Amino acid sequence: MLYEMSEVLLDLKSFLHDKNEPVLITDVLKWGLLNWSLEDWKNVLEEEELEFRLGVFEATEKPQWERTCKLVRNNFDYLLNHVNNNTNEWLYFDYKHLNSWFKNIEQVRQSINWSTIGFPDVKPEDCTIWIGTKGAHTPCHLDCYGFNLVYQIYGKKLWVLFPPEENLLPSRIPYEESSIYSKLNFFSPNLNDFKGISKCRKIELNPGDILFVPHKWWHYVENLTTSISVNVWLPLVEDHEERFKESVVQFFAKQITDLSSNDVNRIILNPNMDDVILESSESLMDILNKCKRICKENLSSKRVLGSKERGETQKIVTDINDFVSTIPVMSKEDFTLFLNKQIDRFNGSKLKEHPVYKKDDNVELFEAITDPRVIELITNILLKK
């Protein structure tokens, strides 16, 4: 039985590389972290200073972008006190790369092992950890690089997903490399903003679940309870082309922010891009040209499935049905019901707009020239030269 299980799971790597829709994978990873209580996490992380994003559990007109949240440094016990005593705010130790955090916490690092599902080369330092209270969330966005594997370790987490072609009002404001944000607010939605939106897939992850998020799929993520998860982005051949596009966006970001006030730059940039753009000493044109060269060199190497490979892929799908399930598309009625539930929990209240966000000519120009359709056109022209 152990040999058969291993054989099926090794096939999972090929299966995921060719999959173009999100899937739920269950009962295959059994990390020791699954058995940890919050008190266990507290004991292990007792000496660690953590960096939390603090937001409000209230309705807002726009998504709660990182720039509008407070940044708080404290320990894990601070999070536990929030869990027990604060229902008006949420805390998120989010998007924390393990190549920078928990370097000496061997109890965490030794438990992280993706080899049983076909990824033996993935190390803890390749992964990212997310720890947050109920209501902590990431605004809807898509990731430009690779595909995403998410392992739920503790609590429940909501994922709402849409295919890349769904028009969720994409924007590069706030600008963050490799993330294209949606202007739509899924945390406290306005129904009028969601007219014509369909093809939604919704899943609640429980401990032990793995979610596969394909390349460039839109996703909104919210903690339904106190939640801990670990994820890894795995590379694709397409990443070379996407990095070239991102180098063009970054070049424009530098030109606009050099001409803008600090207040305007706070609108344009996500906080984690301040140093990259505002303090950059590198020539972004040199970076752009390097990405262009690498992209050109790799365009011809994209793998195309032949007839034999397609047959093998079909066999793999049959082999792993016991572990993998697709996530169905929600009906229009169920999607509307979900949005209404998101709205009703705030009793129709709306907060005033955050003062960071106001109209500005430079902001509108940056949004126009970094529209994904414009960047696609520019990169296509440059690649032909």
Give per-residue pLDDT as tens, 180-205. 999 999 999 999 999 999 999 999 99
| Residue 357 pLDDT exceeds 80 | no
Rounded mean pLDDT of the chain?
90
Proportion of the chain above pLDDT 70, given as a percent: 89
**Would the pLDDT of 361 be above 70?**
yes
Residue 83's pLDDT is: 94
Residues above pLDDT 90, as percent of the chain? 78
What is the chain's alpha carbon radius of gyration, rounded to the nearest angstrom?
21
Amino acid at 245: K
The whole-angstrom separation of Cα 91 and Cα 60 is: 17
Residue type, 236: L
Kind of pairing, strands 70-74 and 210-213? unpaired
Phi, psi of 177 (to 5 degrees): -55, 130
Measured CA to CA, the distance from residue 38 to residue 78 in angstroms comes to 12
- Say which residues have a Cβ less than 8 Å from residue 222's Cβ, sequence separation at least 6: 135, 136, 137, 138, 157, 158, 186, 187
Coil, helix or strand at residue 258: helix
Q: Is the pLDDT of residue 309 over 80?
A: no
For residue 53, pLDDT over 50 is answered with yes
Tell me the residue ranges of DSSP E strands in 88-223: 89-97, 128-132, 137-143, 147-154, 157-162, 170-176, 179-182, 201-205, 210-213, 218-223
> Listing from the earlier edge strand, what are the strands of the sheet with 157-162?
170-176, 179-182, 137-143, 218-223, 157-162, 201-205
Residue 296 has pLDDT above 70, yes or no: yes
What's the confidence (pLDDT) of residue 299?
A: 78
Q: What does the alpha-carbon distance between residue 376 and residue 374 come to, in Å, rounded to a whole number?
A: 5
Q: Given pLDDT bands bounded at 50, 70 and 90, which one contains residue 4?
A: very low
pLDDT at 307 over 60: no
Give the pLDDT band of residue 88 (cuts 50, 70, 90): very high
Angle formed at CA 194 by CA 189 and CA 195, multiple of 5 degrees: 150
Mean pLDDT lowest among 108-112, 136-140, 313-317: 313-317
b/e per residue 346-374 (b: at least 16 CB within 10 A): eeeeeeeeeeebeeeebbeebbebbeeee
Residue 6, pLDDT > 60, answer no
Higher pLDDT, 10 or 253: 253
pLDDT at 90: 97
Contact 247, 291 (CB under 8 A): yes
CB atoms within 10 A of CB 29: 23
Rounded Cα distance, 325 and 234, in Å: 20
Joined tokens for residue 178: 């490799």
Position 126 pLDDT exceeds 50: yes
Pick the range with the lowest mean pLDDT from 109-118, 170-179, 294-303.
294-303
Instruction: Report the amino acid identity of residue 250.
Output: Q
pLDDT beyond 70 at 351: no
12-37: pLDDT as tens digits:
777 787 789 999 999 889 999 999 99
Does domain 19-237+323-344 bear CATH number 2.60.120.650?
yes
Domain assignments of the chain as residue spans, ordered by start:
19-237+323-344, 240-302+357-383
Q: Between these two residues, 116 and 330, which has the higher pLDDT value? A: 330
Long-range Cβ contacts of 238-243 (<8 Å, 24+ apart): 238/302, 239/145, 239/146, 240/291, 240/294, 240/295, 240/298, 240/299, 241/295, 241/298, 241/299, 241/379, 242/144, 242/145, 242/178, 243/145, 243/291, 243/294, 243/295
| Alpha carbons 375 and 353: distance in angstroms, whole number | 30
- Residue 375: the pLDDT is 97
